[in-house]
Structure 1
Amino acid sequence: MNILSSFINTLLLSIVELFYLLGVLMAIGFILGTIEKHSNKFLVRAFGPLGVLLTAWIGTPIHEIGHLIQCFIWGHRVSRVKLLQLNSPDGVLGFVEHHYNPNSVFQQVGNFFIGLGPIFSGIGSLILGMYLFVPQSFATFKAEIYQHVSFEKLDINVLRTIGGAVLAICKSLFTLHNLINPFFWIFLVLAISISSHIALSKADIQNSARGLLMIFFLLVFFNIVAGFLHLDSYRLIVTLGEYNAYVLAFSSIALLFSLVTLVFSFFLYKLKTV
């Protein structure tokens, strides 16, 4: 009975640790997906199926490049890649077909990060776009990260700090100087296009789920071993999970421009229906 109780406690502990390590990433993916769903709905209502294609020319390739890079990192064999296809009968705008060794724990874990690849490539592209086209805003973003975000326990204070950072970035972006700067408008078009295709597809989520299951099994195994060695595994996982403050900080850029895209698409929809 004690063994069963101990195993159940280990499973529960592993679930808590899993969400502490990866819950923020999964939550961000869900939020981005929800925003993108409504943004695309307004674009389709305004322009028909062509509405989504208006942003696909840059957003879809960056989405697929995110998958592709993670495939290389985690050792998956890539057999076919389509960064953009506009005439697919099933409506799929792009794909990365990859294969992995089911006996490789490393490659199975990689499924999780391959599925989330578009979030990484999307955030990276937005930050690169800021650096190239609106360097003053990039400098503000960099300063906010350097001064106010650090490895610390994820709590309400971290959320307030990141909220303040986002507000500072907004103030540096939407200025009169930028509104008359053509590079700002180029960046805004790119940002809206990227944000419109940063969310995960159903296939992406299914692929990530396979990797997530393997990560959970590894956590269970780790906690069992830690129990025998009398190690505080939870404290170690919590320490590792402090990187979430940076995940939130960098993801705030994607969330910000996803909301901008939502407002922009809603405005176009209303303008079209007047």
Structure 2
Amino acid sequence: MPNMIEVLFHTIFSLLLLFFIPALTIQLLTLINRKSKKLLSFNFGTASQIYLAGIGIVIHECSHLIIAILFGHQITKFKLLVLPHELKTPDPANPDHQALGYVFHSWNERSLYQTIGNAFIGIAPVIGCTASLVVLTKYLNPLLFNWLTGIGKKLSTTYTPSWELISKTLTSFPEIQYSWLNLLCFVLWMLISINITVGGYDLSSADIRGSIRGICLCYLLMGLILFILTYCGFSMVINYWLIKLLIWFVLIMLLTICWSLIANLLIRLTIYLIQKFGDVENH
């Protein structure tokens, strides 16, 4: 008969991995991209966020909208992107007044399905933007896509990937084929990826607040399922799929964090150069 303490420990450990790794990653992305948008807004006006992050904002709101519909929520009002000429003077009494996009929805609080849906609606932009980046990379930067796919397959086909396997896999980048078409695709991929990352991964306080109850219910259900499976002797299978899932998630999120940092640095560099050369001209 399985040791109940070991079963409970394995269940809690699996839940913590499934919670803290995504939560910390999403929080880091939100902080970086929110700072980037604040820098843009403060130095170049609110409209600059639309130009640099408009694609990401549309995907962000589309993700909320699609998941809300899938979970049976009633859509009361939505706008995927507020255009520059539609921007209004900020109203301190109304914090949503200056939103660059929005989806308002209602749901039946007695429905478990719709309540759990709030968890997925809240984090929907992460899912939508990640899927968009994967598709974008597949078609505009297939070399990198195949490399990352190869890494994911190699690392996720073993229960315990070694550091030797990880280092060997990471250094096996294929030879780059230079051409004008490849260069154009790379530039487009880079610009669109930055746009999606900056505009899409900034989860608002409303997104997080609205998903808390649903997330708690999801983790309670997952905990119950994991406990039963572990008790029935499927701990090795759980470990395998947990490692596989987290490896793919971390690979994609690392690329996203890199884009977020690059965008933030480029914005800071642009502001610095404008201020520096502006001061020189004034003198």
Give the TM-score taking structure 2 as reference length: 0.74
Q: Displacement, 1:176?
A: 6.7
Q: Displacement, 1:220?
A: 6.1
- Bigger Cα displacement from structure 2, 31-40 vs 126-135: 126-135
Separation in 2, partners of 1:208, 1:188: 31
Aligned match of 1:215 in 218, 226, 238? 218
Q: Structure 1 residues 254 and 246, CA, compared in 2 at 3 Å: closer, same or farther?
A: same
* 3-state SS, counterpart of residue 196 of structure 1: helix
Equivalent position of 2:138 in the other structure = 131
* 3-state SS, counterpart of residue 181 of structure 1: helix
Q: Once the two structures are superposed, what CA deviation does each residue of 1:193-240 show, in whole Å capped at 9, x if it has no partner?
A: 11112221111111221211212443565588x59x965797776555
* 3-state SS, counterpart of residue 262 of structure 2: helix
Q: Structure 1 residues 97 and 15, CA, compared in 2 at 3 Å: closer, same or farther?
A: farther
- Bigger Cα displacement from structure 2, 211-220 vs 201-210: 211-220
Equivalent position of 1:140 in the other structure = 147
Aligned residues: 260
Are positions 1:264 and 2:266 aligned together?
yes
Equivalent position of 1:38 in the other structure = 35
Equivalent residues in 2 for 1:220-239, closer than 5 Å: 226=228, 231=232, 238=239
- Bigger Cα displacement from structure 2, 253-262 vs 116-125: 253-262
Separation in 2, partners of 1:26, 1:153: 24
Equivalent position of 2:25 in the other structure = 28
Equivalent residues in 2 for 1:52-131, closer than 5 Å: 52-86=49-83, 87=87, 89=90, 90-131=97-138
- Bigger Cα displacement from structure 2, 62-71 vs 81-90: 81-90
Separation in 1, partners of 2:17, 2:131: 23
- Bigger Cα displacement from structure 2, 242-251 vs 214-223: 214-223
CA RMSD of aligned residues (A): 3.7
* 3-state SS, counterpart of residue 145 of structure 1: helix
Structure 1: tracts of 5 or more residues without a match: 1-5
Which letter maps to 2:21?
Answer: V
* 3-state SS, counterpart of residue 97 of structure 1: strand
Q: Displacement, 1:261?
A: 1.1
Identity of aligned residues (%): 24
Equivalent residues in 2 for 1:171-250, closer than 5 Å: 177=179, 181-197=183-199, 198-219=201-222, 226=228, 231=232, 238=239, 241-242=242-243, 243-250=245-252
Q: Structure 1 residues 135 and 232, CA, compared in 2 at 3 Å: closer, same or farther?
A: closer
Q: Could you tell me whether the CA contact under 8 Å between 2:71 and 2:117 is conserved in 1?
A: yes
Q: Displacement, 1:186?
A: 2.1
Which letter maps to 2:242?
Answer: G
Q: Structure 1 residues 235 and 105, CA, compared in 2 at 3 Å: closer, same or farther?
A: farther
Which letter maps to 2:209?
Answer: Q
- Bigger Cα displacement from structure 2, 234-243 vs 123-132: 234-243
Equivalent position of 1:3 in the other structure = none
Give the TM-score taking structure 1 as reference length: 0.76
Structure number with larger C-alpha Rg: 2
Q: Structure 1 residues 176 and 160, CA, compared in 2 at 3 Å: closer, same or farther?
A: same
Separation in 2, partners of 1:76, 1:161: 46
Structure 2: tracts of 5 or more residues without a match: 91-96, 277-283
Separation in 1, partners of 2:168, 2:195: 24
Aligned match of 2:156 in 150, 153, 163? 150
Q: Once the two structures are superposed, what CA deviation does each residue of 1:31-55 show, in whole Å capped at 9, x if it has no partner?
A: 1012112322332344233332222
Q: Once the two structures are superposed, what CA deviation does each residue of 1:147-203 show, in whole Å capped at 9, x if it has no partner?
A: x331666999599569938x959x96xx97579823322222211111112221111
Q: Could you tell me whether the CA contact under 8 Å between 1:79 and 1:98 is conserved in 2?
A: yes
Q: Could you tell me whether the CA contact under 8 Å between 1:130 and 1:137 is conserved in 2?
A: yes
